[in-house]
Amino acid sequence: MGLLVLAVAATALVSFGAVRAARGCGVIPLASSVIAPVQSTGSAPVGAEERERRAREVMADRFGIPVETVLVSEQMTQAAPSGATAYIFKLYGVDGRYFGPVFIDASGAQISEAELDLARVITSLHDQGKVEPMLSDAIARSLPWDDVPVMFQLVAPAWDGPPTPWPLDLSPDAWNTFVERHADAFYRPRVTPFVEYLRSIGARDINPDLAGTAYVKDAWVFARVPSGLVCAAAARSDVLRAGHNLPMFLN
C-alpha cells in the first residue's frame, strides 16, 4: 500500500512539473521581417586621416558650428554584427566642452550608434528567441492569474536623436526637455497601441502612463501582466523582446 501511494505521488509530481514547464513561454522566434540595420556602406576604405575629418564634419553639422572648432580627443574601434569595423571618435570643442561620440565605418561614412546597438539585439534574438529565460521561468513557477512584472521592448526603428542642428548652449534641464520632447513625438505613436492592448488584458502598473504628462522616452513598456497572458503578449508582432522586470527595477 505504501508503495502504491508513493507511485501515485511521484506520478502527480511529474505531471505537475510537466504542467509548469508547459506554461513557460519556451522559444518564441523573432519574426523574419525584423531585420538588423545595415552598418556599412560597402564602399572603398579610406585612410585614418580622412575618417577623422569625416567624424569632425558630422559633429560640426550636428551642432551647426564650423568644423575647425571640433577636435578629436580619442579614437577606438568596435566590431559591428555585420562584420564591419566601427571607428569611434570622441569629440570636443576648442573650448573644452565634450560634444559626444561619432561612429564612422572604413569608407568614411557615418554609422548610427543606435542602429549598431539595435543590430546587436536583433542578431542575438534571432538566435535565442524573444523571451528571456528568467521570464519564462517566472511564468512556469506562477499560476495563470498571478501578476508577473514584465519589461517589453517594442519593435521600432533606431532613433538617433532630435533633428539637427542641435542647440549648443542649453542648460542640462533644458537639454533633457529638448531631447525628451522629440523622443516622445517619435516613440508615442509606436507605444500607444501596445499600452492599450495591455490595458485590455488587465495588466497593471503600466509605464509609461500615457494619460500622464511625462514624455515617452523610448520603446520600452513595463507592466504587471497576468502570467497566463504573458507569452501571447510577447508573441505579438510589435514586441521585439520580453524580460522579467525584477522587483528592484520596478518603476
Q: Using one digit for the tens of pLDDT, what is the confidence trace for 155-190?
A: 999 999 999 999 988 899 999 999 999 999 999 999
Residues 144 and 196 in one domain: yes
**pLDDT at position 193, please?**
97
In the structure grid, which three cell numbers stand for residue 159, read together?
Answer: 532613433
Residues 170 and 216 in one domain: yes
Reported confidence tier of residue 19, pLDDT bands at 50, 70, 90: very low
- Considering 86, 115, 144, which residue would you say is the last residue of a domain? 115
Residues 237 and 144 in one domain: yes
Between the alpha carbon of residue 189 and those of residues 16, 75, 114, 232, the distances in Å are: 42, 37, 19, 22
User: Cell 499560476 identifies what position?
Assistant: 143
5 lies in some domain: no
Residues 84 and 181 in one domain: no
31 lies in some domain: no
Residues 109 and 166 in one domain: no
User: pLDDT digits over 131-145, tens only?
Assistant: 999 999 999 999 999
Q: Which residue has the higher pLDDT, 101 or 7?
A: 101
**pLDDT at position 136, please?**
94
For residue 108, what is the DSSP state?
Answer: S
Residues 186 and 220 in one domain: yes
pLDDT higher than 80, residue 33: yes
**pLDDT at position 248, please?**
54
Nearest CA-CA partner of 246 in 153, 137, 151, 152: 151
For residue 73, the enclosing domain spans: 48-115
Residues 166 and 207 in one domain: yes
In the structure grid, which three cell numbers stand for residue 122, read together?
Answer: 536583433
**pLDDT at position 247, please?**
64
Residues 150 and 108 in one domain: no
Residues 134 and 223 in one domain: yes
Residues 56 and 149 in one domain: no
Are 51 and 87 within 8 A, CB to CB? yes
Mean pLDDT confidence for 118-142: 92
**pLDDT at position 189, please?**
95
Q: How many domains are there within the chain?
A: 2
Q: What is the Cα–Cα distance from 36 to 126, expressed in whole angstroms?
A: 10
Query: Is residue 216 classed exposed, middle or buried when 0-12, 13-18 and 19+ CB atoms within 10 A define those classes?
Result: buried
- Considering 115, 144, 172, which residue would you say is the last residue of a domain? 115
What integer best gives the mean pLDDT of the chain? 86
**pLDDT at position 4, please?**
44
Residues 143 and 92 in one domain: no
User: pLDDT digits over 63-96, tens only?
Assistant: 999 999 999 988 999 887 777 789 999 999 999 9
User: pLDDT digits over 215-238, tens only?
Assistant: 999 999 999 999 999 999 999 999
pLDDT higher than 60, residue 1: no
Residues 238 and 155 in one domain: yes
**pLDDT at position 31, please?**
84
In the structure grid, which three cell numbers stand for residue 28, read together?
Answer: 518564441
**pLDDT at position 39, please?**
63
Between the alpha carbon of residue 117 and those of residues 190, 208, 225, 239, the distances in Å are: 19, 22, 27, 17
Are 99 and 167 within 8 A, CB to CB? no
